[in-house]
Amino acid sequence: MTVVPSRVVVVTGANVGIGLETAAGLAAVGATTVLACRNPVKAESAAADVRARASSDDVHTVALDLADLASVRACARELEARFEHIDVLVNNAGGILQEQGRTAQGFEKTFGVNYLGPFLLTNLLLERLVRSAEGSGDGRVVNVASVAHHWAKLDWDDLQTTRRYRPFKAYGRSKLADILFTRALAARLAGTAVTANALHPGNVRSGFGMDGDLRGYRGLGVKIYRPAEISPAAGARTSIYLASSAEMAGKSGGYYVRCKPGHPSRRARSHEDAARLWRESERLVADAGFPIP
């Protein structure tokens, strides 16, 4: 009898909110689930929660700080060392910052955490994803974006929004970048068994913007709107669907809302911008000492 190995799924930012619910949902359907998180203590606590809820011991953690590309590279290396195959990568981690910050390599922090870190992580794991899919016939990259991309436009002269920084402006641009990255990645993966799709999870009642990241009227607005938002479990449904549903096999380059094709903005559909952003992102990480293999 041939033993079919469990699919290995990596979920970033899985210690809280929709990341935690995504990990729990995928573990419940039998996946070997890896929680990639910045805080190891919170990661272990979340992993214990997932194990209990999914009735599975096949839940693991790995350190990942998307604000430090050295941590991103170390995470990729550890994943490749510990897991013979990697079938699904869910780039879930992200956030919004009241004040402009900097990553370890000096990138604007919203851009670095929400986009550039996931860009590097995905590329570092891409060979393993493609090779794993040759055996399984089904590898997937899932990028959590946002409807906020509709109000965003990339400024090629200030891609990281370092001038006149505004939290929601920087956030929207980073999510537009995530969708353009998904489009470019899908094109590059054509001819392989790996797909790439993006999604808007909905307005989720989670820790987003609530840990002191937003203050003043912005923080107050988030708190006031909180009761109208959906639960993290509901917000995770589209991520789980894209990562595991048989209906998504072979479908690539899309943007999904509520488990259905959504309507990305005109700017998010630009092949030219997607290709340009990829080239610029390669240059940025290479100049920081982390070239794409």
Give catalytic status of residue 241 as yes or no: no
Give the integer Cα–Cα distance in Å for 293 and 288: 14
H-assigned helices in the chain: 17-28, 40-54, 69-82, 109-111, 117-136, 167-188, 216-225, 232-244, 271-287
Amino acid at 147: V
- Determine contact, residues 198/143, Cβ cutoff 8 Å: yes
Residue 109 has φ and ψ, to the nearest 5°, of -70, -40
Residue 143 is given by DSSP the state E
Strand-pair partners of 103: none
Q: Is 209 helix (H, G, I), strand (E, B) or coil?
A: coil
Give the integer Cα–Cα distance in Å for 205 and 203: 7
Give the integer Cα–Cα distance in Å for 233 and 241: 12
- Determine contact, residues 216/160, Cβ cutoff 8 Å: no
From the candidates 115, 171, 241, 256, give the one annotated as an active-site residue.
171
Could you give the residue numbers annotated as active site?
171
